Amino acid sequence: MENDLVTRIFGEDGELDIDKPDEGLAEYKKRKKEAREKMIMLQSQPYEIKVRRSRLRAEEFMEQMQMRDKSAHVSVGGLDSITLHVFLKSIGINVPAVSVSSLEDKSIQRVHKALGVTILNPLKTKVEVLNEVGFPVISKRIAGKIALLQNPTENNKTVRHAIITGECGELGHFQKNSRMKLPQKWLNLFGGYENENEGVMYYKPKAIFADAVAASHTSILIGDLAKLISQNGVSIGQKRLFKWLRDNGYLIKREGSDRNMPTQRSMEMKLFEVKESTISNPDGSVRITRTPKVTGKGQQYFVNKFLAI
């Protein structure tokens, strides 16, 4: 069956089998080429035929669900699922649409509301998700290559070599600088095994610098942190950094006297400290100002955070 190769390479759950990516590579490439040619053929069909085929698939799916005494819904997120929801309604298939919209962009939330999508409460807030797993900034293709680098075996050494150098063997017609090569910024961050065992020496000077900063007892202003991050290759100004820190739960966002002060979580993580200063006013009164400053640990944390984005 056509799925046999997919199962062999990607495993029963559809995920890349990091232990056996070299096996069946030629056959996989052949299947991939055939699938691409079939997709091009389908894309070239008249619009009316595409609509008819899509309607047939949708009706077949609903028939199968009814035969199994099951219901269906559309999990709505971005443009593709929104298009599916609108298309199903247009052909008379009125299944409910659900979404965890609070994790989406505000513009998408407005679209969901206009479409009458049922909003579900997430298990975690957007800030919690971002703090725990970061931003979804890499594709599945890049993530798969990173997974291979982080899980080296004898069976995947050929693919790992291509990911690191861009050099392909016989199955890749001995190409140089192929698209298999992972971009350098990801090699810098995730080429750990090769650093230690293969002599490739993809060291991380920026991360090493940040490690040294962590031992420092000198705290800096957020504007200086923006300069530090920019010096490490990620361009960002003071205003944008303040906004990012507020939006991601590191600084207090609400209006008031404590706006831009570190959140309780940030203080518990020892990323910030607050410096209090006393200022004498011309009328003889005294006021106290509070300024958030980034600790050595915070400097390391945020530099590495932005390098990973």
pLDDT, position 87:
94
- For the segment 43-55, the average pLDDT, to the nearest whole number, is 91
pLDDT tens, 64-73? 999 999 999 9
Cα–Cα distance for residue pair 53/45, rounded to 1 Å: 11
Query: CA 263, 264, 270: angle at the middle one, nearest 5?
Result: 95
pLDDT at 125 over 70: yes
Which tokens is 187 given? Answer: 């090699």
**In the sheet where 97-99 sits, what is the strand order?**
74-75, 97-99, 118-119
pLDDT, position 86:
92
Cβ(271)–Cβ(250) below 8 Å: yes
pTM > 0.75: no
Work out the mean pLDDT of the chain and round it to a whole number: 77
Domain boundaries, the chain: 3-97, 140-202, 207-307
Q: What is the dihedral of CA 96, 98, 117, 101, to 10 degrees?
A: 180
Lowest mean pLDDT among 51-55, 58-62, 135-139: 135-139
pLDDT tens, 210-237? 444 544 557 889 998 888 888 777 888 9
Cα–Cα distance for residue pair 260/253, rounded to 1 Å: 6
